[in-house]
Structure 1
Amino acid sequence: MDDACHRATPPKNLATMAAAAKLVAALVLLLPLAGSSDYDGFIRQVTDGGGSRASRPGLLPEAQFAAFVRRHGRRYSGPEEYARRLRVFAANLARAAAHQALDPSARHGVTPFSDLTREEFEARLTGVRHGGDAQRLVHGSVPAAAPATEEEVARLPASFDWRDRGAVTGVKTQGACGSCWAFSTTGAVEGANFLATGKLLDLSEQQLVDCDHKCSAVARNECDNGCGGGLMTNAYAYLMESGGLMEQRAYPYTGAAGHCRFDPSRAAVRVANFTAVPAGDEGQIRAALVRHGPLAVGLNAAFMQTYVGGVSCPLICPRAWVNHGVLLVGYGARGFAALRLGYRPYWVIKNSWGEQWGEKGYYRLCRGSNVCGVDTMVSAVAVAPPQVNS
């Protein structure tokens, strides 16, 4: 019997070695992406519009690229540019396969960013500067939220979603402008206003892009800069000083920085205060989400370029490179993760790349271990009571 056991062991070991080899190959492809940016905690995120669909197994890259061009209405300058973008597209199919190997519980494939080089993607989607620290920028200058008690955390529901309670506006599209920080900010203020008034207002990101140049209290060179990036906590401070935030219909989004047209008399919501949620404490983050409404968060968007759907649980995703501002709207208890011991809890995240990206504009990310730095930069906001006209 011992001999039989020994004879049965090698195939299992070979299968394990083969799986490990695939992961090593994926790591080799991903390490340049992880290491090519220097993080400063300043969020500048740029996207173009378009849909997302997984690559089709069996089709050659040329056929997949032709379908991509048709689907997204791409117009290139000529045959040379078309050929160059085809080569980029083929390389990104390989990157999507690497992401799939490292993130098997999600689906990775062709997205609206599949014709961008890694350098273009980083410049348009992250665009970080040197020398910052997310926790220093947020927790060094922002009051801490009152912690929930152990009993309150224990009583939290297993799953929760503010979309089911009417506190979240539809998915928006920021276009070719590094304004993710503005969309994250307005989403948090929209939710806080809903909790305070019962009314869901669509608030103006363009006001922040045009008018907000607030700088961090602990890093004076980290200032909100329209399509050049910004921080959600800076934006809260601006809103407190400026007198409030106008509605989208009164100050519509253009996707480009322009002259400030803010009219304090037309402010629909005023911010009373804002707080930082303890970094790395997911019990406190869940409690703050349930207590205060949707939360503004930052994360590392490295796996989002190829994300199509499912629960993302990357085996490697550097936590330090937080470069994208999003909105945390809920959490779930059971998301399947093949290499993460079966079912894992996850966060529900609203993005600002349009409804055709990801899961109708949303991203599900594993929770429990600060995956992709999602627990690092979390903030909540409260609005002032509505003014009563005498």
Structure 2
Amino acid sequence: MSPVTAAAAPSERRDRSRTLERVQELHDAPLAPLTTFRLGGPATRLLTATTDAEVIDAVREADAAGTPLLIIGGGSNLVIGDKGFAGTALRIATKGFELDGTKLELAAGEVWTDAVERTVAAGLAGVECLAGIPGSAGATPIQNVGAYGQEVSSTITEVIAYDRTTGDTVTIPNAECAFSYRHSRFKAEPDRYVVLRVRFELEDADGLSAPLKYPETARTLGVEAGERVSAVLARETVLKLRGGKGMVLDPEDHDTWSAGSFFTNPILTDAEFAAFHARVVERLGADGKAPAFPAGEGLTKTSAAWLIDKAGFTKGYGTGPARISTKHTLALTNRGDATTEDLLALAREVVAGVRDVFGVTLVNEPVTVGVSL
């Protein structure tokens, strides 16, 4: 349950009411159009806030009333139940792109992929390989968004957030964000912090990219891992790679009616990886080999996409309105008339199948609202 703040004084309540009058308010409002899955039922009430002050006042009002609150940014990481959300949904639509040398501050509501394009156009490096990722800037520290060898935790310096527990606006430095693979302090405490702004320190490399870490990107560009290329070229290459996998939003392409990668790559202990490897050999023979990447002392990361494919869930799998993408096994998609239950049924089938074959339990990356796997 969301923390409840102390009741405001009468004068504060009057000021808050005047602020909320400027916020767009809808009742019994459809939420599906606000998500990239285009799934989910309505919210009892939907507010759209365009300033930090409006965000804070809307959150305070909901918390003071004990009303369930759902924060929505770009909607690219949400799975909302067919019954919708019984409470207040708050869509953060704040704007703000402030660049000072290599320092960048983004309002939470800024479209992330547009912000990446603007930093590259300014000749700065550090987020160019995160091009094409749907969603808003405020979501990036929550998930520690990453792709093609970059993670936002490498460039974020501070996150400005509203702390629902204390009622204060706080500035949290990178070292206190507890960033890890697709995780952070904000994800660990989802009912505490509402991200308002994110600050980054980028690199002026005379128009060059950061050193390329991802083998596929380097190979596509014809260079060695660790080399730099034009940041513009790196961004364009990533967009092409993502587009070929259905990972760039296109309203005409149902393969992009998804949340991108639906499952995180499993991280296994040495014992778990040994048991997994034995299953791989049993299924694929003595030469069977699964992807394996160091993930810290005693830990190995493997590929969720590989697991899904080798367990028999190939591209385009499914006959119903929710299917695996025809371009990438890691994306579950809405073919146009799916329900959330259709999607979850497919997700559960994939999870059970991978577990039965390899003994590994996949974990969903998108946040679920009113439903669970």
Q: TM-score, normalised by structure 1?
A: 0.24
Q: Which has the larger share of helix?
A: 1
TM-score, L = length of structure 2: 0.25
